[in-house]
Chains A and B, each alone.
Chain A
Amino acid sequence: MSVDQHSHLKRLEAESIRIMREVAAEFSNPVMLYSIGKDSSVMLHLAMKAFYPSKPPFPVLHVDTTWKFREMIAFRDDIMQRLGLDMIVHVNQEGVAAGVTPFTHGSNYYTHVMKTEGLKQALDKYGFDAAFGGARRDEEKSRAKERIFSFRSANHTWDPKNQRPELWQLYNARVHKGESIRAFPLSNWTELDIWQYILAENIQIVPLYFAKRRPIVERGGMLIMVDDERMQLQPQEKVEERLVRFRTLGCYPLTGAVESSAATLPEIVREMLIARTSERQGRLIDHDESGSMEKKKKEGYF
């Protein structure tokens, strides 16, 4: 199945490519954040297109929390090697040294230290003045408010009440030293668009997205996969093999699976059509409090 030149997906693709080229041309030191998820996979695919026959003129950064699914890490290393891209992996070593884990410190604090702080460390360390992120406006109500070029202060904070006007496709790329722009080339894609595009372009994604029998424990109403021996079970909990897949990927102790038998892309897309629950429900962090995404973004989370 290939993409027709006048189709909806082609329009989205062209818009994303334009945004990426704009960033590459205007900034001196951009980077692409890569989370290994499906949106990142699409973003990477688009970057390969945008600069063809050149390679993307920027490195890829993965902020590793050390709690990602093992399959994600294997997939990441494989794809980077195959595409021949420069990858930087950053771990917040201070967080590791302090023993911060999703089990010991609660999802909010853990995410703040290992993801938000880790990301800031990496951005500061390499002096990146622009960072691509794969966020979409349809994911969450504060993301629906964000610009395509989203300004961050030298402390990486977002000021949602004072965003730069962004007219037409004239993106303001000017920042002072230390300040930066988060660029969101997938802003106008919906979850369904992402899946359809993966289908049409046969984009490789982590196998965790496809249904399979996996070792699952139920915790806080969520289906958590026991990915390694670090997952400690409560007395009343028991591990069961269940046929599940993931709609979104992150740290395994915080990412809920959904029961599903969709084992192929068409089946996933079909399942999407009848989905009545948004994908982010599968993430523990957003439940912590209402408006928590905006709060994290203000602090510098992606």
Chain B
Amino acid sequence: MNQVPVARESADFQRYIAEQERKSLLRFLTCGSVDDGKSTLIGRLLYETKMIFEDHFSALERDSRKHGTTGEEVDLALLLDGLEAEREQGITIDVAYRFFTTDKRKFIVADTPGHEQYTRNMATGASTSDLAVLLVDARHGIVTQTRRHAFIVSLLGIRHIVLAVNKIDLVDFDQARFAAIREAFQQLAADFGFASIVSIPLSARYGDNVAEVSPRTPWYHGPSLLDHLQRVDVGDDLARRPFRMCVQWVNRPDLNFRGFAGTVASGSLRPGDEIVVARSGTRSRVERIVTFDGDLDIAEAGTAVTLTLADEIDASRGDVFAKSDDRPEVIDQFAAHLVWMHEDPMLPGRPYLLKCGTRTVSAQVTEIRHKIDVNSFQHLAAKELRLNEVGEVHLGLSEAIAIEPYRQHRETGAFVLIDRFSNATVGAGMVTHGLRRATNVHWQAIDVTREARAQLKHQMAKVAWFTGLSGSGKSTIANIVEKKLHALGKHTFILDGDNVRHGLNRDLGFTDADRVENVRRVAEVARLMTDAGLIVLVSFISPFKAERQLARDLMAAGEFAEVFVDTPIETCEARDSKGLYAKARAGQIRNFTGIDSPYERPEAPEIHIRSNEEALEHAADRVVAWILGRDSADDWVI
């Protein structure tokens, strides 16, 4: 194929291209309360830097007539608010990314929503920014949302702030008003550790102090916003930090090549350098730094590379490479700031997936140290974190991973939490520090193993987890099962919801948070009992999928069976052996499963008992058959 040849280029052209290439990049966001003028401001910046194409501008004029909030004038916010719903409601819902260039710099700006409901989208925009333009409406001054955004911005490690005191036209360009807001902000941000705060009086709508310093604020002697954005130094020091690289993908085109693909997160690396796999401590030397464009002599932060090593070591996706003189901690418990992003609250003890770097593991919040009131920044006690709440929490992981304080290492210090069932991204976290008990308390190596204990009893330790509505027949069936096993000389134990609540879980109520903790404790006890070699029958309503999964995850495959006692609620209610349904209907009991609290049906239980259709004896035989590892109850009965 003959590409049209690259013609001889003029010196001017060459110079221009080279300049473009050398320009630095600033990523920033606009944030602040709803209607403070964030979208308008970016629209104004795009307009002033001549980034709006003619056809886009005529579309804007048309849109302004239809959806505009500015009367006869064009509504620059409509350049940003690109979703139908946003234009109809006149607010920003999700973050928009826009691009503009000046002689000095390239910019990627994230226009984020001010509405509290969409805080997660604001955090999304902030997470990749190096500077925040925080807007305040000069008429209203600092409001709760200003504080919330300042706080989130600081948590996410943004160190440079522009306080844009907007709509200064609406307060007659009043110097005193500006000064008061600036003072108030400096006070509130005193503890946030920002490296620079530059306050600018602005009118996004009319352009004062946006690109050019305005004659209407003669008392203001600082730079225009654009001027400041072009000059501010947000230089990162990634190059000078210790080397880190998360392995994304193992590259194996044939038997002779095995490379580890990833992007250098910080520091640099040369062929011959010794590296260590953080998790296992295995060492090797870098042989080649492979790229499509040829091998590199040095790989610096931000470069996408494929490393080949001198030795065949065990490493794969999720591993972190470091240098041996400065390795990340490998821990399974740590403290972190957590921003909750989902309508379903975060419940301690509930298992989530945690993704950090390129590794995904199971995680649970073991403790909420406190949540933080975004208005007063006070620490408050909490049993759960709701949508848009921020807390300091302790987390425990299913296995130890390389994880570090976010302030030192973004890539190994940032994580998201994902719901195991809906797959929604439900939380974002920043590690503050590892918890010592994880590194110091090692598991005691025990010589008498769980297998040995079980063998002595001539049985396999297992957990049959009976779940179902109150009155569905869980305990009845579990009792029959236990009698049958006992008769066969098996060592068993029943953990029953009602009984456990009188003792071990006496301190727990029936809120969602308490139900999660209730199940977690019982699952842990069941696990200890199987360690002791016992067959454990757990009879628990356990309404939530997530907690049943948690129990399952504690056990090896094949050692855990979900026994779903599936009885229609009408039948349970008609039986009402404990009179509880009557009380729940009368409103005397709150949060009653099946009445005003949900029961999430198991999707694929090992044993499904439709108690209306199957004799209890037969159902019990099926459970016994599973416990004894026989194929089917019928074989065994015969």
Contacts and interface: CB of A to CB of B under 8 A. Distances in A.
A165 B25 CA distance: 24
Interface stretch (B180-188, B299-307, B578-586): B299-307
A163 B124 CA distance: 11
B53 A11 contact: no
Chain B binding surface, main DSSP class = mixed
Interface stretch (B29-37, B163-171, B244-252, B539-547): B244-252
A69 interface: no
Interface stretch (A95-103, A112-120, A236-244, A274-282): A274-282
A183 to B, nearest CB: 14
A164 interface: yes
B43 to A, nearest CB: 11
B636 interface: no
A196 B21 CA distance: 9
B304 A13 contact: yes
A202 B6 contact: yes
A188 B306 contact: no
A167 interface: yes
B428 interface: yes
Interface string A1-39: 101110111110110011001101100000000000000
B99 interface: yes
B101 to A, nearest CB: 8
A166 B425 CA distance: 8
A215 B81 CA distance: 40
Interface in A178-194: 187-188, 190, 192
B616 interface: no
A106 interface: no
A273 B20 CA distance: 11
A171 B367 CA distance: 26
B4 interface: yes
Contacts of A51: 249, 251, 261
A167 B428 contact: yes
Given A278-B55, A294-B83, A264 B302 contact: no
Given A141-B80, A199-B17, A202-B3, A165 B98 contact: no
A267 B502 CA distance: 82
B423 A172 contact: yes
A174 B424 CA distance: 8
A227 interface: no
A210 B4 contact: yes
B479 interface: no
Interface stretch (B56-64, B440-448, B488-496, B605-613): B56-64
A142 B355 CA distance: 28
Contacts, number: 198
B120 interface: yes
A269 B17 contact: yes
B121 interface: yes
A69 B291 CA distance: 35
Nearest to A189: B99
Contacts of A230: none
Contacts of A49: 291-293, 304
A165 B7 contact: no
A49 to B, nearest CB: 4
Interface string A189-223: 01010001001001011010010000000000000
Given A17-B304, A165-B120, A11 B25 contact: yes
Interface centre among B81, B85, B302, B414 (most CB of A within 10 A): B302
Nearest to A280: B55
Interface in A250-302: 263-267, 269-270, 273, 275-278, 281, 290-291, 294-295
Interface in A138-196: 138, 140-145, 147, 160-161, 163-170, 172, 174-176, 187-188, 190, 192, 196
A54 B304 contact: no
A165 B418 CA distance: 11
Interface stretch (B89-97, B192-200, B328-336, B452-460): B89-97
B415 interface: yes
A78 interface: yes
Interface in B334-376: 341, 353, 355-356, 358
Interface in B1-20: 1, 3-7, 9, 13, 16-17, 20
A137 B97 CA distance: 7
A294 B53 contact: no
Interface string A75-107: 100110000000000000000000000000000
Given A1-B17, A141-B96, A165-B123, A17 B263 contact: yes
Contacts of B6: 1, 199, 202, 264-266
Contact of B414 (A10, A14, A170): A170
B96 A174 contact: no
B83 A52 contact: no
Interface in B83-112: 83-85, 87, 93-99, 106, 108
Given A14-B302, A17-B304, A264-B5, A166 B423 contact: no
B253 interface: yes
B359 to A, nearest CB: 11
Contacts of B1: 75, 78-79, 204
Interface in B255-273: 257, 259, 261-263
B128 interface: yes
B140 interface: no
A235 interface: no
Contact of B108 (A161, A188, A205): A188
Interface string B27-48: 0000000000000000000000
B87 A53 contact: no
Contacts of B94: 145, 160-161, 163
A9 B55 CA distance: 27
A55 B292 CA distance: 11
Given A54-B251, A137-B99, A14 B53 contact: no
B54 interface: yes
A73 interface: no
A48 interface: yes
B572 interface: no
A50 B108 CA distance: 24
B17 to A, nearest CB: 7
B428 A165 contact: yes
B551 interface: no
A1 to B, nearest CB: 7
Nearest to B82: A141
Contacts of A3: 21
B501 interface: no
Contacts of B83: 142, 145, 160-161, 294
Interface string A37-65: 00000000000111111110000000000
Interface string B259-300: 101110000000000000000000000000011110000001
A284 to B, nearest CB: 13
A90 B276 CA distance: 47
B317 A25 contact: yes
B62 A290 contact: yes
B249 A21 contact: yes
B55 A277 contact: yes
A141 B87 CA distance: 12
Given A165-B120, A165-B341, A144 B355 contact: no
Contacts of A141: 79-82, 96
A24 B250 CA distance: 10
A116 to B, nearest CB: 18
B174 to A, nearest CB: 35
Given A49-B291, A53-B251, A8 B23 contact: yes
Contact of B7 (A8, A267, A276): A267
Interface string B107-136: 010000000000011011001100000000
Q: Which 3 pairs show the lowest CB-CB distances between chains A and B? A: A141-B82, A49-B292, A167-B127
Given A21-B248, A50-B304, A141-B82, 6 more contacts: A25-B317, A137-B97, A174-B353, A174-B418, A275-B53, A281-B55
9 contacts: A4-B21, A21-B304, A141-B81, A145-B96, A170-B416, A174-B353, A202-B3, A264-B5, A294-B84
